[in-house]
């Protein structure tokens, strides 16, 4: 994967991984400063800064709501409580009606497996409950929190967020999944380098999904969508079909 950084630029979160090419090899820790010369990444670990960030995760097996600590009980919504008391089969009811076929299949797989209830917090944020299911890579779902969605969000995406608040295909802090609707914002506000000569204005691109390889799928506030891959935007013909393609691959045990 090729990615050009400017001198002194911090490497975005979705580049937290080993990256190699014919001309370079680098193991990245965030944040770090690098220097580029003739398409080669040179040693630049001096000036590197390491920011402390705390992740807290608690796993509850066989949860009993009344016995949960107050800090966990207090963040549960009525829907969370209903899901916990009903069990995994509750998730099959979420995909009823006019939900996309891939969403019904995804939730059906969840309903047929067991789950662990997890509470996760990043930095100074409060805990949020997640249901980690026991199929394939143990995907995780957090139910919607009932907060207002962005006005410019496409209708099909609003429908998805009414069912799923967050989806993670991997563990916490790893790439891959549907982002929290509450934290969505344009690329221009995320500190991610984008080719200035590209065809998409970063201020109009709102990422809401990322792949395990770090590619970001964005909806455009002007209509349509685009992938952001290594600083380059690639417009898509049908944004809704791209979302389906991502989840259909996961259901089959692969990735796009």
Tens-place pLDDT, residues 51-61: 577 889 999 99
Q: For residue 98, name the pLDDT band (cuts at 50, 70, 90).
A: confident
% of the chain beyond a pLDDT of 90: 66
Q: Is residue 155 predicted with pLDDT exceeding 60?
A: yes
The 3-state DSSP class for residue 6 equals coil
Q: Identify whether the C-beta of residue 186 lies closer than 8 Å to the C-beta of residue 203.
A: yes
Q: Is residue 21 predicted with pLDDT exceeding 50?
A: no
Length of the chain: 256
How far apart are alpha carbons 105 and 99 in whole angstroms? 10
Q: For residue 146, name the pLDDT band (cuts at 50, 70, 90).
A: confident
Query: Comparing 40 with 227, which gets the higher pLDDT?
Result: 227
Q: Name the residue with tokens 């008391």.
A: 85
Number of H helices, E strands in the chain: 5, 14
Q: Identify whether the C-beta of residue 210 lies closer than 8 Å to the C-beta of residue 14.
A: yes
% of the chain beyond a pLDDT of 70: 80
Residue 155 parent element (H or E): helix 155-161
How far apart are alpha carbons 256 and 251 in whole angstroms? 11
Q: Identify whether the C-beta of residue 119 lies closer than 8 Å to the C-beta of residue 57.
A: yes
Q: For residue 43, name the pLDDT band (cuts at 50, 70, 90).
A: very low
Residue 58 parent element (H or E): strand 55-60
Q: Identify whether the C-beta of residue 177 lies closer than 8 Å to the C-beta of residue 210.
A: yes
How far apart are alpha carbons 114 and 43 in whole angstroms? 47
**Exposed, middle or buried, 222 (CB in 10 Å: 0-12/13-18/19+)?**
exposed
The 3-state DSSP class for residue 45 equals coil
Specify the range with the lowest mean pLDDT, choosing from 21-35, 114-128, 155-169, 202-216: 21-35
**Exposed, middle or buried, 216 (CB in 10 Å: 0-12/13-18/19+)?**
buried
57-88 pLDDT, tens per residue?
999 998 999 999 999 999 999 999 999 999 99
Q: Is residue 26 predicted with pLDDT exceeding 70?
A: no
Mean pLDDT across 192-200: 92
104-144 pLDDT, tens per residue?
999 999 999 999 999 999 888 899 999 999 998 899 999 99
Average per-residue pLDDT for the chain: 83
- Which long-range contacts link 200-205 to residues 24+ away (Cβ below 8 Å)? 200/226, 200/233, 200/235, 205/233
Mean pLDDT across 195-208: 95
pTM, to two decimals: 0.78
- Vertex 174 angle, CA 236 and 216, to 5°: 15
Q: What does the pLDDT read at residue 38?
A: 36
């Amino acid at each position: 994967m090729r990615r050009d950084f400017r001198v002194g630029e911090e490497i975005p979160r979705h580049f937290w991984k080993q990256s190699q090419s014919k001309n370079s090899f680098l193991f990245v820790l965030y944040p770090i400063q690098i220097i580029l010369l003739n398409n080669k990444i040179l040693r630049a670990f001096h000036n590197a800064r390491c920011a402390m960030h705390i992740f807290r995760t608690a796993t509850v097996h066989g949860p009993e709501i009344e016995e949960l600590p107050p800090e966990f009980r207090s963040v549960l919504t009525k829907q969370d409580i209903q899901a916990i008391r009903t069990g995994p089969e509750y998730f099959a009811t979420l995909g009823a009606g006019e939900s996309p076929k891939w969403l019904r299949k995804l939730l059906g797989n969840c309903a047929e497996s067991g789950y662990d209830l997890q509470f996760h917090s990043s930095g100074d944020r409060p805990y949020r409950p997640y249901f980690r299911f026991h199929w394939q890579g143990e995907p995780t779902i957090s139910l919607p929190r009932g907060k207002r969605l962005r006005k410019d969000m496409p209708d099909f995406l609003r429908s998805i967020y009414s069912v799923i608040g967050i989806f993670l295909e991997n563990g916490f802090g790893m790439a891959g999944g549907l982002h929290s609707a509450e934290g969505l914002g344009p690329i221009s506000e995320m500190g991610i380098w984008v080719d200035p000569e590209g065809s998409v204005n970063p201020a109009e691109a709102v990422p809401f999904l990322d792949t395990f390889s770090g590619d970001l799928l964005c909806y455009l506030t002007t209509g349509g969508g685009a992938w952001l891959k290594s600083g380059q935007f690639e417009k898509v013909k049908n944004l809704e079909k791209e979302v389906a393609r991502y989840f259909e691959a996961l259901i089959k045990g692969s990735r796009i």
